[in-house]
Amino acid sequence: MKTVSVLALIALAGAAQATIELRADPLSSAPSYVDRAVVYSGIPGPYNAFPAAGGSLGFDDYSSTMANPVEGLTQMRFVGGVTNALETARFEFYSTAGILINSFNVQFPQGGAFIWTITLGAPIDIPQNGIMQIVATGNSTGRWFLTGVAPTVGTNSNSFGGANGGALFHAFELTTPTPGALAVLGLGGLAIGRRRR
């Protein structure tokens, strides 16, 4: 298991750089979360993959279990990776109408196929139901693995994205803070606000 911190630019109007933590786990592992609610999961293996490519590595729709139409993504996982160390991929989130809602770039510290856990230093808003696309940027190449197991949290249309006539789904997982974690964050902000007065 390897944990590395890198900088990535969050593609929000007026946003500054935020630290992103990356963790690479073997394809046979099942990393766990603390203080996060899994709102979409299509991560179980076994996995299938096409050869490494440049540009779009794939796209797939998701219907999450988020309580609100838009919520902050704090952590996600996907199965795959870039071919060589220091190559970059962009993660894009679209509405179901195909309107780009948010994106962020990640420069990977190593090449190869892993279950990558990406923890965002600052949450970004994503739609409750939408489309996720991964793009290898510049001269980067990579792969986004697929799985034959239907999502276990949330749903996915087997006629959109995926492969083999809907028999395979792109392997990814989205998480947001749990309600308890949000309450703690709110109390922390309230305490800081009172301390400044």
Give the model's confidence band at 178: pLDDT under 50 very low, under 70 low, under 90 confident, else very high.
Answer: confident
**Preceding amide of 46 cis, omega within 30:** yes
pLDDT at 29: 83
Give the model's confidence band at 123: pLDDT under 50 very low, under 70 low, under 90 confident, else very high.
Answer: very high
**Single-letter amino acid code for the residue at 85:** A
**Spatial distance between the Cα atoms of 76 and 56, rounded to a whole number of angstroms:** 18
pLDDT at 165: 84
Q: Which residue segment(s) compose the domain that 140 sits in?
A: 2-196
Q: What is the mean pLDDT of residues 167-182?
A: 81
Q: Is 0.85 surpassed by the pTM of this model?
A: no
Tokens of 102: 């948010």
| pLDDT digit string, tens, across residues 42-101 | 998 899 999 999 999 999 999 999 999 999 999 999 999 999 999 999 999 999 999 999
Between 14 and 162, name the one with better pLDDT.
Answer: 162
- In the chain, the number of structural domains is 1
Query: Smallest Cα–Cα separation from 27: which of 158, 147, 153?
Result: 147
**Spatial distance between the Cα atoms of 79 and 35, rounded to a whole number of angstroms:** 22
pLDDT at 151: 95
Contact 170, 42 (CB under 8 A): yes
Contact 77, 40 (CB under 8 A): no
Mean pLDDT comparison of 2-11, 24-33, 149-158, 185-194, highest-scoring range: 149-158
Q: Residues with Cβ < 8 Å from 156, sequence gap 6 or more? A: 42, 60, 61, 62, 63, 150, 162, 169
Q: What is the chain's percent helix, strand, coil content, to nearest 5? A: 10, 55, 40
Between 147 and 193, name the one with better pLDDT.
Answer: 147
Give the model's confidence band at 2: pLDDT under 50 very low, under 70 low, under 90 confident, else very high.
Answer: very low
Q: What is the mean pLDDT of residues 193-197?
A: 49
| pLDDT digit string, tens, across residues 141-157 | 999 999 999 999 999 99
